[in-house]
Amino acid sequence: MNLSELLEYDNVTEESILRSTFGFMAFHGGALEEMTDTIASRAAERAGASYYGIQLPDNLEWHLPSHTVTADQSPVLASFLSHVNIVITVHGFGRAGFFTSLLLGGRNRRLATHLGGLLRTHLPAYTILDDIDDIPNNLRGMHQDNPVNVVEHAGVQLELPPRVRGSSPLWWDWEGPGLTPHTESLIDALVDCATTWPG
């Protein structure tokens, strides 16, 4: 399956909101990498940034490799990528040894350092890996066709473990209001990153 085929599938939704040239993306959202679209869209709205997301329904768990999510398969994606010049793509992952680690890949290492410092302030209980050599090879987001790298200034691929997305057993009894405290703190850091980035 490719992106264009995925977008034709029942109940798959694609959304783009163009605001500033700083962008947030979550193209593995919905039931696939839970809460990534919520995190990216809320951060974008609060920061006045642009947003692109894809939501998959509960009965569909097809994970497209990021480097196959290309503008030639979606006019909506093409419009977004031509509008923004720097992006943070929000992903979810789960791996033994990294359940409290946030991974900051992608080719814009200056943005990764900027975001990393803010995440350490807002989420002191987590390990923030913004040195590319500390990130597992297949989670570094360095492929030239990965959406995080195709815009003018590239960006950061942010990989989030379940706990910070509010989808781990730690939050089994959380009833709100709002998102879990860790998720709210994460969004605060993303907003700060976009609004204080010198450009």
Instruction: Please report, for the chain, the start and end positions of each structural domain, with discontinuous segments joined by +.
Output: 3-196
Cα–Cα distances in angstroms (integers) from residue 172 to residues 168, 175, 182, in the given order: 7, 9, 14
pLDDT at 176 over 90: no
pLDDT at 75 over 80: yes
User: What is the rounded distance in angstroms from the CA atom of residue 84 to the CA atom of residue 47?
Assistant: 14
pLDDT at 168 over 80: no
Quick: pLDDT tens for 12-66: 999 999 999 999 999 999 999 999 999 999 999 999 999 999 999 998 988 999 9
Q: Is the pTM for the entire model greater than 0.75?
A: yes
Quick: pLDDT tens for 102-118: 999 999 999 999 999 99
Taking CA 184 as the corner, what is the angle to CA 182 and CA 187, rounded to the nearest 5 degrees? 110
Q: What is the 3-state secondary structure (H, E, C) of 96-113?
A: CCCCCEEEEECCCHHHHH
Domain over 3-196 is classified CATH 3.30.2010.10:
no
Residue with tokens 């939501």: 55
Instruction: Grade residue 173 by pLDDT with cuts at 50, 70 and 90.
Output: confident
